Amino acid sequence: SVAVSGETYAEFREADWLKKRCSTAWICIVYALIIGMEYSCISTSLLYYLQDDLKLQNPKLYYSLIMCLSALSASVSALISGKLFDKTRRLKLFMLVFTLLTLVGNLLYTMHVSVWFLVVGRFLCGLCDAAQPIISGEFSRLYEGPELTKKLSQYQALYAIGFLSGPAAPVMFGKIDIKICSWWTLNQNNFVGIFMALLTLVILLAILLGVHDLSIQDVAANTQSEMPINTSQPPSNSSFNLKSILKNLDLMLLILSSSFTNALAGMLELMINLTASDWFKWSLTRLGIVTCICVVIYTVLMLTVAHKVIQRYLKFLFLLCFPIHALCVIILMLPKITNIDHLYSQEAHLALCILTNTFTGLTISVLSRNLLFQMVPAGSASFSDGFRSTTQRIMGIVTFFLAAWAYDTSVVTSPILSLVLLMIAIILATRRKFRPEVCGVNQEHRLLLDENDNL
């Protein structure tokens, strides 16, 4: 009787833990929508806000400053927060802090008392991006194998929806004109801050009710097996630090190559927008419709079949991202060297560019995280992904400032970028850690090859 009661209690605890894991995971996945939208939602309206409402003499300077500081705060906080989270595992606390800072930041953004309200507000909003390595690191401890790939794919799909739809958010508020006081007026240029604050408030309540600190509970050990850790990595968390990452050639190749591709995708997105508006003379509505169709296609694939394919062909798909992205760069350049006058041809051209850029630039985050979590100790997953995120953001800042120049000189820069991407793919293919597994090579032999590769 005592044994039966013990088994029943154990089953109850396991079921309760799995239920908490499910609610925690889905809130984190929806949170990705907020993170993605948060970074991109002001990109189309900020310049108008600085010109029309604050009436600055040099609005472009402050536009660059605000966008740069937002990315900078995301870069710094990702590395620091990842290290702290690996030590504490307080997921709920970290998400609450980031969400509250984002809420305050969005409210400050709407107040045009001074441009520095906007600067501080967007700096605070940028901090929420540090939740990404924290969430992915927690996923790596709560899931493994196909389940981990599925959750990362779902997370990336929601992030893509937020990131790609964010710039269109101000369009919804065209008729907004609310004067609260002499220094606080809500209109199309700044109402996106109120909109994001409301979304943040909703997700804040969801975090309070549904997020749990599962990886620090003892019951977690009874419901998941040990995460696969590469034998070449430090066996204990205390011995794994920034120096451990920098000294590991394969790990650095993974981080630098994926960060470069992701940052390049951000630059190509701006170049796609410039091609649509400057070269094809499209309206914002037409570009929005084409982008929306591409986002729907990407999201459906990521939520349905992508995780199955990724799990089976992880390394092959990772290597494939680079030549496909190189092809995207060349295709985007075509209007500069040949006439594409027909509207349907223009739509097909930009749709192909958006799809290939999205699939490679965003999906590589899922692929690189899967590979990363196989190469580092589970207890240092958030710190390692935080370093990857910081590297990605720093490269993103550089490519953001180079986007206009790259667009003007795309006939020269596009072939160079394509060659760089192909060279990266070749270098990675020479490393056994990234080479797709060949049938007939057993696990022991692969481990032996990896050990020799690291010597």
**CATH number of 413's domain:** 1.20.1250.20
Domain contains 420: yes
Domain contains 146: yes
Both tokens assigned to 416: 């160079």
Closest CA to 388 of 288, 258, 292: 258
Place of tokens 């350049």: 333
For the chain, the domain total comes to 1
**3-state SS, residue 109:** helix
DSSP character for 226?
P
Domain contains 447: no
DSSP structure string for 373-406: HHHS-GGGHHHHHHHHHHHHHHHHHHHHHHHHHH
* Whole-number Å distance between alpha carbons of 193 and 416: 39
For residue 333, give its domain range: 17-216+243-435
40 C-beta neighbours (distance < 10 Å), count: 18
Domain contains 384: yes
* Whole-number Å distance between alpha carbons of 80 and 73: 11
**Which helix (H) or strand (E) is 85 found in, with range?**
helix 59-88
Domain contains 139: yes
Going residue by residue through the chain, which has 455 residues, state the pLDDT in tens, using 9 for 90 and above: 545 566 676 777 888 888 999 999 999 999 999 988 887 787 767 878 888 888 888 887 888 788 888 888 888 888 889 889 988 889 999 999 999 999 999 999 999 888 999 999 999 998 888 899 999 999 988 998 888 988 998 998 898 888 877 777 777 887 888 888 877 889 888 898 999 999 999 999 999 999 999 887 644 444 444 444 333 334 445 568 888 899 999 999 999 999 999 999 988 988 888 888 888 888 767 887 888 888 888 888 888 877 788 888 999 999 999 999 999 999 999 999 988 888 899 999 999 999 999 889 888 988 999 999 989 988 888 989 999 989 998 898 888 788 888 888 999 999 999 999 999 999 999 998 998 865 434 444 444 444 554 44
Cα 112 from chain centroid (whole Å): 30
Domain contains 316: yes
Domain contains 446: no
Place of tokens 């995280």: 369
Domain contains 228: no
DSSP structure string for 247-279: H-HHHHHHHHHHHHHHHHHHHHHHHHHHIIIII
